[in-house]
Amino acid sequence: MAQLILKPGKERSLFRRHPWIFAGSVERLDGRARPGDTVTVLAADGKALARAGWAPESQIRARVWSFDPEAAIDHAFFKRAVAASVARRAAIPALRGQEGVRLIHGESDGLPGVIADRYGDVVVLQLTSAGADKWREAIVAGLVQATGCAAVYERSDSEVRRLEGLAPHTGCAHGELPSGGLSIVENGVRMEVDVVGGHKTGFYLDQRDNRLLTGRLAAGRDVLNCFCYTGGFSLQALAGGAKSVLSIDSSGPALEGARRNLALNPQLDPSLADWHEADVFKALRNLKDEGQRFDLVVLDPPKFAPSAAHAERAARAYTDINLFGFRLLNPGGILMTYSCSGGIGLELFQKIVAGAARDAGVDARVLYRLSAAPDHPVGLAVPEGEYLKGLACQIG
């Protein structure tokens, strides 16, 4: 097994149990290793520290599989790790009965580069690191064994793979997808899941609890949902008793999906829902100019800042949408605003929202701090994993 030798002082992050080893921390690689191969990580003084997956084309040169430098990284290792991750979800009361659950959340579950989401009897797998890609067969076998699922569909097509020198890889890794399409019931609302062409693995499971909260806050309110995608927040608002829901997205196909989702729920009144295809920034300005007002505004935009290098530009975009969000609220109204940008931390995001409230001339207070559902845990040693953050702010 090849040995990855760190530069002096670069072992400190491993002592904190952070699993990433960046290119600038590497002194040399002794021996030969292909992308994804397991290497033993050594401090500059020769002390063995960990076993990791090697990624020579990535700025993250290696990701730690185990902080035990003697651990055997083999099929049995991955089957145990997958089973443990699935068992942790089963022990969370809030997840019991949910048809859509994240089973593996990368570094937070000790499996860097591995994402697995379960939708009913189908598990969707995403492998984003060279090490994870190397152990595809063992990970798939572990998922089948731990869940008894009928199918595992791989969606390893994210842009992150290019940074690892990996080509996209999609298709059924086990079994077959149901011929009639796939849907799940989430907190009483049925939603389509497009595991082949939808965003992420087919659905945004991380917002499950926040969608439920939206429904509880929507009772008797006029609701505006921006960047609505396939209508998750919108349908929960209707289920919660919203007076009306206006949903805006720039994607026509996404809105068609939202309409289909509404049709899947005959208990919801379609006359209370209005779907609008438009650029959200322009639409918010138009709504303000028209004098429209809402009691609850949801802002769940796409990732404006994938890294800290994009933070300044992203901050302007977040300021703009939150400024108009506040201006469109009736007195006593609530703004539920989110950022999924890894380059925007919670402290900066709150400053941005506070600045938008100031510029809108409103007094606002935080009712709830919002984050991903508990099947998307954040490892204490890997704070970078806390990508989703949100605030529910009431004005007046």
- Residues with catalytic annotation? 340
Q: Are 373 and 208 in contact (CB under 8 A)?
A: yes
Q: Which 3 state secondary structure label does DSSP give 307?
A: coil
Distance of CA 294 to the CA centre of its chain: 28
Please give the radius of gyration of the chain, using alpha carbons only, rounded to the nearest integer.
22
Q: Can you list the positions of beta strands (E) in the chain? A: 3-6, 20-22, 26-30, 38-42, 48-54, 60-66, 100-105, 114-119, 122-127, 151-156, 169-174, 183-186, 189-192, 222-226, 244-249, 273-277, 294-299, 329-339, 364-371, 389-395
- Cα–Cα distance, 192 to 203 (Å, whole number): 8
- Cα–Cα distance, 179 to 182 (Å, whole number): 8
The answer to whether the Cα torsion of 198, 223, 207, 358 is positive or negative is positive
> Which residues 6+ apart lie within 8 Å of 35 measured at CB?
54, 55, 56, 57, 130, 133, 134, 164, 165, 166
- Cα–Cα distance, 252 to 240 (Å, whole number): 26
Question: Can you read off the two tokens belonging to residue 150?
Answer: 């009928």
In the sheet that 48-54 helps form, which strands lie side by side, from edge to edge?
20-22, 60-66, 48-54, 38-42, 3-6, 26-30
Candidates 337, 120, 315, 137; CA nearest to 224 is 337
Distance of CA 237 to the CA centre of its chain: 21
